[in-house]
Structure 1
């Protein structure tokens, strides 16, 4: 009986490299979108901003995968794209916080994400996220939350 030739499926160049960022986008799309809608002015298109961020992520996917936390790299890219267009008035109450505490405040206390959801989204250890959130529940941190909405 003749043996069948071994055929490997063919893929377009670059398709495999884009599957990873697409899966990451699909996994966190709702959280990314809510974050964008929270910070962008009413006239901004949150979806277009996320598309631009993920185009950057797709273009640098090999470097992102080489990083200790690909999720953290993706989060920083998304956050940077959104904040470049953010309404400055929406960030004013958190202006004195470092970016990690701003993230904790906005994601947990405003958007009501759990500690584990924030850890997955931002590529941060859950214990670190918990510490950031806990520091915001002090009297000083509580004032920050009250100023937001």
Structure 2
């Protein structure tokens, strides 16, 4: 699969912009990927962590880790999905904010991320799916299954009172 099919249209523009020196394709695609995802990754990390500095460190660590294995990531079916897992791992190694994740039943990590991006950070489904490196339909499934857990929990709470 060509590298150009892996990047959003606006990122392709960054790759075609003339520069004063020629950059290797891998570093140019990583730079475009970083520019496209950095702010959204940082919003996610800040929502999950108590410390803004820890969030920034987790995101910086993510892009450093990506730079080490970028050529391999580009050859994967979904570079964004692999990058998302690296980010989640970097965030999970740090203390979490108590209000950074939905309360209630034990969500899977994927459900919690979907709820956080779409519900808490107000990202549209398409944007949240893009950040996570998954299809919109899969994100909708994760949101719906999390919602079912919340409804079941609510019914159990109502029956107990």
Tell me the equivalent position of 1:97.
107
Q: What TM-score comes out, normalization by structure 2 length?
A: 0.71
- Of 25, 48, 55, 1:39 maps to 48
Distance change in 2, residues 1:57/1:141 (3 Å): same
Shift of 1:42: 2.4
Tell me the equivalent position of 1:113.
123
The number of residues matched between the two structures is 133
Tell me the equivalent position of 2:17.
none
Unmatched tracts of structure 1, length 5 or more: 1-8, 145-149
- Of 55, 70, 81, 2:64 maps to 55
Aligned equivalents of 2:51, 2:21: Cα separation in 1:
44
| Aligned partners of 2:26 and 2:70 also within 8 Å | yes
What is the CA RMSD across the aligned residues, in angstroms? 2.5
Distance change in 2, residues 1:113/1:60 (3 Å): same
| Aligned partners of 1:33 and 1:47 also within 8 Å | yes
Q: What TM-score comes out, normalization by structure 1 length?
A: 0.76
Residues 1-149 of structure 1: pairs in structure 2 closer than 5 A: 11=22, 15-42=24-51, 44-87=53-96, 89=98, 90-91=100-101, 93=103, 96-138=106-148, 140-141=149-150
Distance change in 2, residues 1:70/1:95 (3 Å): farther
